[in-house]
Amino acid sequence: MTLVANIPVHEPKAGQPQAAAGRFAFAGKPLIALVQDARLLATLKKVSEPGHEVHAAGSEIDLSSALMAFHAGVAVLDCAALATPVAQLAARLHVQFPELVLIVAGGIDDQGALAAQITDGSVHRFLHKPVSEQRVRLFVEAAWRRHEEASALPHMRATRAPQPGARATRWWLIALMLAAVAAPIAWFVRQNAGTPAESPAATAPPAAPSVAADHELESLLARADAALAAGALTAPPDANAADLYREARRRNARDPRAVTGLEQVIERLLSNAEAQLQANHLDDAQQLADAARAINPQHPRVGFLEAQIGAQRERAVLGKAQRAAASGNVAGALAVLDDATREHRSPLAAEARQELAQKQVDTRVADYLARSRDAMSRNQLIAPVEDNARFYIESARALAPTDPAVQQAAEDLSTRLVIEGRQALAAKNPDAADSWAAAAADSGAASAEVAGLREGAQQLRGTARADSFAKLALAFNERLVAGKLVDPAGDSAKSYLTQLLQADPGNPAAQQARTAFSARVMDEERAALQAQDYPTARRWLGEARAAGADVAALAGADASLTAAEQQAQQAGSVVAESSLTRTRYVAPEFPRTAREKNINGWVDVQFVVRTDGTVGDASIVGAQPVGIFEQSALEAVRRWRYRPVVQGGQPVTQRTHVRVRFAMQP
């Protein structure tokens, strides 16, 4: 949230020393205290000098608001009251408020964490708890002396007083504005960067089960996984994770592993871009964002990140203008703003550069406000970079922070941003709502309005997750009823169970699905065992074990299967049909009733291959569902023919078994 306090800054009269004016300007600043210890707060109030009221902040957000609103000179942080690591918060405050004198209170471990900052002076003093009144008094008085000494320097550098009638442009407020703008954006970046429970590098794309393996696809996915793990996201050409996952997706668009892998590449690129953005490496951040956009132009985080990069570029321009103005070069500050908007300006730019800096402030402010109104009419609130309403209003505020028209324009913009956020919520677009909420907070919207937008976005995400979970559960149940347990790989009960467990492993519905799947797989294992199809029974047992079936049930089934395999091996009476050579095949007829009701199933048939290769003694040993497909299976099997089994040079009869499957073709 951008808050600018209307603190009166008294211009020195003719002949009055600049240093005296500086001392008068900084009188009455409060001491901001973010403390949890009531005794420490009471001691601070007791020892504070007249004119330096102690203002207590209730949270880190309140601390930022108070520092900006009061332009405070001294702050006291109690480590016990912080949610952010103290070293990280102290570093951020030093960057945002370089003139702020910081005192930190805490224990010996907290002091160790701040050793470097205490040494370089960014933390003025460390106050060990429990505190003594005398030590608190000494530290606070020393802090105010240090602040007054640091604050006097800029005033002593001033060389001339403003001309009569000239606008009093308080350029020191630009630095305050820039620091306030940076805080919520940095917070939002950290929140997005920390959302996943584990880094993309630690999470490999889930392996999709496959009955008939596509070796080329598996090779592509394996190379892509290796490139992702090695950090080769978009280079070298044709050997990076993005290219390999795209090739895998082109080869099999239904395999979820390629899609998941591309999503992880994007997440890694965006996380790297956010890190570069925090380090103020804007060109590197833009290159990473462009790479992510090339993979998925519609990815919601890409647009938001590019908006952040644009906002950072705008703040860099404003910072450059502020530094020029602080050195007395107002014309140079205006030239910086002119250069930034040259592509979007009318011929007034050439004329404006000819005017004297101080005389053109009013005209320039009006020009920026007119451009902001035009940008708002075109709904260009925060984009494109350096040609949007927010940039023009902030440019005007840099020149005239207390101008009523500028303040009203800022209020109008924050209202529009909140409205856009509400419209995004109505359109059920939580990412856009979060983006507008961040921009609204940056522009000074009420904290309650911003919190409402963010809460609405979270609710939308929760609803979307619940809807997605419900759809996965429905798809799982449909495939389970239809008997599509593991085939096809990307559209089976097993694949949807995997997605349910990944989405919310603790959800009761996910656990119920796991139990139901395990039970069905165990049924398949028992049916295959009954049909003496031991290899198939062994595969089903493996699926049950992978699904997390009951350990005792698995042990019992494994013992029964092992015993049956040993008995069959000793008897040698029944072999799997796949071990024989079939010379004639007749497809079973799909029953009309099953076709009309879209029913799939299977039938286990045991029969004898005679010495002439014909089929005899065919019988049903298992079926699912019962009473639908048995007759069709028997009629087809009886018409099959085989190459006779030969033992000892003579043809012999051989008992065998086969599972005949009935499945509707998609």
| pLDDT digit string, tens, across residues 377-394 | 999 999 999 899 999 999
Please indicate, yes or no, if residue 219 is contained in any of the structural domains. Answer: no
Distance between CA atoms of 417 and 409, rounded to whole angstroms?
12
Q: Whole-prediction pTM value?
A: 0.36
- DSSP code for 623: E
Distance between CA atoms of 215 and 80, rounded to whole angstroms?
58
Helix, coil or strand: residue 105: strand
Per-residue model confidence (pLDDT) at position 516:
94
Domain harbouring 75, CATH code: 3.40.50.2300
Please indicate, yes or no, if residue 92 is contained in any of the structural domains. Answer: yes
Distance between CA atoms of 224 and 207, rounded to whole angstroms?
12
Concatenated DSSP letters for 375-391? HHHTT-SS-STTSSHHH
Please indicate, yes or no, if residue 22 is contained in any of the structural domains. Answer: yes
Q: Which of 75-79, 107-111, 324-328, 565-569 has the highest mean pLDDT?
A: 75-79
Same domain, yes or no: 421 and 469: yes
Distance between CA atoms of 204 and 209, rounded to whole angstroms?
15
Mean pLDDT, to the nearest integer, of 607-634? Answer: 93
Q: Tell which residue, 152, 123, 151, has the closest CA to residue 139.
A: 123
| pLDDT digit string, tens, across residues 464-514 | 888 888 999 999 999 999 989 988 888 999 999 999 999 888 899 999 999
First to last CA, the chain: 56
Same domain, yes or no: 658 and 602: yes
- Radius of gyration, CA atoms only, the chain: 37
Same domain, yes or no: 467 and 420: yes
- DSSP code for 13: P
Sign of the alpha-carbon dihedral angle for 354, 359, 364, 370? negative
Residue 19 has pLDDT above 70, yes or no: no
Question: For residue 95, what are the domain limits?
Answer: 18-160
127: which 2 tokens?
């106050």
Domain harbouring 627, CATH code: 3.30.2420.10
Please indicate, yes or no, if residue 322 is contained in any of the structural domains. Answer: no
Q: Answer yes or no: are the C-beta atoms of 330 and 304 closer than 8 Å.
A: no
- Whether the link from the prior residue into 98 is cis, omega within 30° of 0, is no
Per-residue model confidence (pLDDT) at position 357:
52
Q: Tell which residue, 491, 543, 499, has the closest CA to residue 517.
A: 543
Domain final residue pick, 426, 459, 479: 479
Domain final residue pick, 571, 592, 613: 571
| pLDDT digit string, tens, across residues 249-291 | 998 888 888 889 899 999 999 999 999 999 999 999 999 999 9
Please indicate, yes or no, if residue 508 is contained in any of the structural domains. Answer: yes
Please indicate, yes or no, if residue 132 is contained in any of the structural domains. Answer: yes
Same domain, yes or no: 49 and 118: yes
Q: Tell which residue, 316, 330, 65, has the closest CA to residue 184.
A: 65
Domain final residue pick, 453, 479, 505: 479
Q: Answer yes or no: are the C-beta atoms of 542 and 494 closer than 8 Å.
A: no
Same domain, yes or no: 80 and 135: yes
Q: Answer yes or no: are the C-beta atoms of 514 and 547 closer than 8 Å.
A: yes
Same domain, yes or no: 30 and 134: yes
**112 Cβ partners below 8 Å, 6+ apart?**
none
Residue 4 has pLDDT above 50, yes or no: no
Same domain, yes or no: 74 and 126: yes
Q: Answer yes or no: are the C-beta atoms of 615 and 584 closer than 8 Å.
A: no
Distance between CA atoms of 110 and 125, rounded to whole angstroms?
12
Please indicate, yes or no, if residue 29 is contained in any of the structural domains. Answer: yes
Same domain, yes or no: 41 and 119: yes
Please indicate, yes or no, if residue 199 is contained in any of the structural domains. Answer: no
| pLDDT digit string, tens, across residues 160-180 | 344 443 333 333 334 434 444
Same domain, yes or no: 431 and 467: yes
Same domain, yes or no: 136 and 34: yes
Residue 200 has pLDDT above 90, yes or no: no
The total domain count for the chain is: 4
Same domain, yes or no: 31 and 150: yes
| pLDDT digit string, tens, across residues 394-430 | 999 988 889 999 999 999 999 999 999 999 999 989 9
Sign of the alpha-carbon dihedral angle for 518, 505, 425, 432? negative
Q: Tell which residue, 486, 514, 380, has the closest CA to residue 439.
A: 380
Same domain, yes or no: 37 and 113: yes
